[in-house]
Each structure stands twice: as C-alpha cells, then as structure tokens.
Chain A
C-alpha cells in the first residue's frame, strides 16, 4: 500500500462528481426490451431481508425463457442503450447505467477500498468467521487480529455445505468488515479489508481527513 496518498486529488474527484455509477449488463444472450427511459428514477432492492425486487429495467428473452432484470440500487437511469431495444444482445453487453449520489460513509469506504487489501468472496454464499478468528475478534476487536497467508479465515456456507476459506494476501490486521453473518454475499464482493499494522495510523488519517472535508465537499454540490 502506498503511503503517498494525494488527498486533494481524491477529494477533488468526489467534489467534481459525487456520484457512483452502476452498469447493468445483459445476464445472458437474448432479445432485450426496455421497460423505462433515460432519466427515470428507480428503486433498488428493499425490505428488511432485501427480498423486494427493484424496479424492472428490461426483459431479456432467450428461446422461450423470459427474464426480467431489476434495479439493484436506488438512483436515476443516466444512460440507456435505446438503439438495442428489441435487438439480440450478447451476454455481458452494457445496457443501462444507474447513477446515485454517494453518502459520506460510502466515500470513506471507497477511499479505504483503494488503500486496503480486499479479500473477496470466492462464491455467492453466506460467510462467517472461523471459530478461532471469531473468538479473537470478540476478545480483542478486529483491528487487533492479525491475519496471515494460509490462515483459515472464513467458513463459506451454501446449501448446508460448509467450506473453509483460507486467506491469501498480504499479512495484516482486519481493518474493515464488509459482510454480516447470515446475509448472502455475491461472488467478488469484498469480505474484509486488510492493512499492515504500520499503516493503520495513515488509514485513520484518511478517515479523519474525509470527515473534516465533508462539509466543504458537499457545500459545493
């Protein structure tokens, strides 16, 4: 991790464009039919258990199978590939972009994600810390728990099949935890952010600086 972080550059980036953009792609090949227009406000998944689907964005039909793709997040449709409406599209083709304003916590997390080592979910599943790591976290707090290459860090649980997950990456302490036990995590989403002990003060500096800049950052919006 670099110790030379240009805070002005990072914060300047968020001042200029305090939004996040989520691209929605075709999940598989098929004929696409959009269900809304550019500028439409959409709702993401909701409900206490994230069980209420978001606003329908488009329908994609392959063979006789129709699939509706819903908005994963609340925001505004900032871009839509209208010329592809009614056309055959390839899997992975970008069809819609949703824009949403970032909150302070998200900005801090985004910056930290640039400076922490992120250990990501190998599969869509539910995760919980291994018993050893969990007991160490309960005793000392996560930022006092050091993780090394090869440590059994998580148990991944899917359909009552438990798989130990071993840590691969730089040695360090668990700075950020991005999952909740019992909540499904998509493949590739970060589970924990790790940093070495020496850089913990610098991480704290990032957080303090963003918090201090917060008012001025958003006074320009």
Chain B
C-alpha cells in the first residue's frame, strides 16, 4: 500500500467525498454531526509492511501507551500490507497476503451497552458500503457482518473487548479483513472466497478503498452515538427505529434465507431455520422447521 496514507488525508476524504454522499440522504447538519461523532476513527493511522496480527499489535499498542501513563487515542487504526499469522474466529485461519485491506481499530468505549452491542454490525455495514461504492453493487451482508459478493466472502470482521490493565478503560478492538486485490486463495477456501478486484475484473486503488472504508466506519460508529444522544432525552425508541438497523436491513440478503445456525457453525452446526428479520438490537430472528420462532444474539449462519 502507498505509504502516503495519513490521518489528514482521511479527514479530507471524509469532507470531500463521504459528507456529500451522506447528504444525499441526510440533512447536512445531521450528516456533519454524525461524522463528528465518528471523527476519532482513523485519527491516528499506523501503517506496517508486515505484521503477525493487527489485533495483537493493537493490544501491544494499548499496553505500551498505558505503561507510559498516557491515554490511547480512540479510533487509532493499525494497518498492515500483509499478515503472517492472521486468524478468523475460533481457530480459523485467515489468508492475508499483499493486496487486501487488513487492520484493527482501537475504539475506547463510551457507548451504553445497548449501543456497544451494535459495534460489529456497524463494522459490517461499513465494509459492505465500501465494497458497493467501489463498484460491486451486488455486495450484501450475511448476519452478523460477513460481506459477500455472489455468495462468496469478500470481507470479515472481528470484535474483541478488553479492559486496560492500568486505566481500566474498556477497549473494543474492531478487526477487519477485506479481499481487495488479492486473488489467490488457499485451496480450502477457493470455493467460498472472492475479492473485489476479481469480481470487478480490474484492480482497485487500495489507498482510496482504505479511506473509503474508514470513512464508512467513522459514519456508522457516529450513527451509534447520534442515535444514543437522540434517544436519551425521552428514553423511548422513536417509530422509525435505529438507523443502523434500517441500513443493515437494506444491505443484507439474510432475511428469507434458509440457513444452518451454530455458535461455531462450521465445527458444530446446531439447527436449520429460515431467517425472518433482525431485531432492533441486532438479534437474528429465525423460524424453525416446526414454525416456532427463536432470536439469536451470538453465533453464525451459513446459507443452505
């Protein structure tokens, strides 16, 4: 990736590209406010040619800052051109060679638990929006936050929380991996993975894509704060519901799909069902084969 990547260029991108996109739908004052709420994302950018895992680097960064009795900048984002030890959930391997967007954002949590619950949803929406805006209009989200093109996975997101050893701050690490220009995949995932470049039939400018994704992440995390502030005065949800959930419903193809559900669906699938929707707090509503309904807040699905 080009080493010119910088926080100030991201700010310019948000002002010149992201804000006009959002004002197509939102009034300008609200759109500006939402982007100000999310302005911390990418305000510190750390870029490496190679790392083992960006999540580990993020943890080391937090430890080092805390040992120095300083505060971690919320939104600090660590990027690497390639990863040598990347992993997905559980013990799954994640292939992260040159050409993809690999990174972690350190978010110092100031959200209420109900909003914090939706951080992984915000990451998935940001990924899907960035992939769509880069040309893959048919990109969709599979609950909770996998991004797919034509049924193949193009992006995945992990979130981990930890408490600072000294500060006792609650940190949420948002890990992201998006196959942008990398086109070679290990044999075991060749049938289920793709990249944006492969789908478009041309390479994508990775620097621009990085700014685009971080701008979307900034917006969607800003939405969590915006809605929380709007909600708090009367503590009752308004009729239109959470804007992040509305957006998820626009981008996801999960509703209506027959799925296999499991906490670790690859290793231990639990049951088959049909997705009906997601709840206002992100839970997956499923209809089982006997017609009864169940809402899941943790686990994953695969389409049948």
Instruction: Assess whether A182 is in contact with B292, with CB atoms less than 8 Å apart.
Output: no
Which of B46-54, B67-75, B153-161, B176-184 interfaces with chain A?
B153-161
Instruction: Assess whether A51 is in contact with B144, with CB atoms less than 8 Å apart.
Output: no
Give the docked Cα–Cα distance between A63 and B290 (Å). 34
Interface string of B135-150 (1 = CB under 8 A from A): 0000000001100000
Interface string of A41-65 (1 = CB under 8 A from B): 0000001110110000000000101
Nearest CB to that of A162 among chain B residues? B160
In-complex Cβ contact of B288 among A49, A125, A126, A164 (8 A) = A49
Q: Which residues of B in the span 245-304 have a Cβ within 8 Å of any Cβ on A? A: 262-264, 268, 270-271, 282, 288, 290, 292-294, 297-300
Instruction: Assess whether A160 is in contact with B270, with CB atoms less than 8 Å apart.
Output: no
The reply on B236 being an interface residue by CB < 8 A is: yes
Q: Which residues of B in the span 106-159 have a Cβ within 8 Å of any Cβ on A? A: 113, 117-121, 144-145, 157-159
Instruction: Assess whether B294 is in contact with A182, with CB atoms less than 8 Å apart.
Output: no
Q: Which residues of B in the span 78-130 have a Cβ within 8 Å of any Cβ on A? A: 89, 91, 113, 117-121
**CB contact under 8 A between A125 and B298, given known A159-B117, A160-B144, A161-B160:** yes
Number of interface residues of A (CB under 8 A): 24
**CB contact under 8 A between A159 and B144, given known A51-B288, A126-B263, A126-B299:** yes
Residues of A within 8 A of B117 (CB): 158-159, 161
B235 CB to closest chain A CB (Å) equals 10
The reply on B162 being an interface residue by CB < 8 A is: yes
Give the docked Cα–Cα distance between A124 and B158 (Å). 19
A158 CB to closest chain B CB (Å) equals 5
Residues of B within 8 A of A181 (CB): 263
A56 CB to closest chain B CB (Å) equals 15
**CB contact under 8 A between A182 and B121, given known A63-B236, A162-B159:** no
Instruction: Assess whether B293 is in contact with A159, with CB atoms less than 8 Å apart.
Output: no
Residues of A within 8 A of B35 (CB): none
The reply on B62 being an interface residue by CB < 8 A is: no
Give the docked Cα–Cα distance between A158 and B271 (Å). 19
Nearest CB to that of A52 among chain B residues? B292
**CB contact under 8 A between A49 and B120, given known A160-B159, A160-B300, A162-B159:** no
Chain A residues within 8 Å of B, Cβ to Cβ: 47-49, 51-52, 63, 65, 123-126, 128, 131, 157-164, 181-182, 184
- Known A161-B120, A162-B159, A182-B268; 20 more pairs at CB < 8 Å: A49-B270, A49-B271, A49-B288, A51-B294, A63-B236, A126-B299, A128-B263, A158-B298, A159-B117, A159-B144, A159-B298, A160-B120, A160-B157, A160-B298, A161-B117, A161-B159, A163-B161, A164-B160, A181-B263, A182-B270
Closest 3 CB pairs of A and B: A182-B263, A51-B294, A161-B159
* Complex A-B: 5 CB contacts under 8 Å: A125-B297, A159-B118, A159-B120, A162-B158, A182-B264
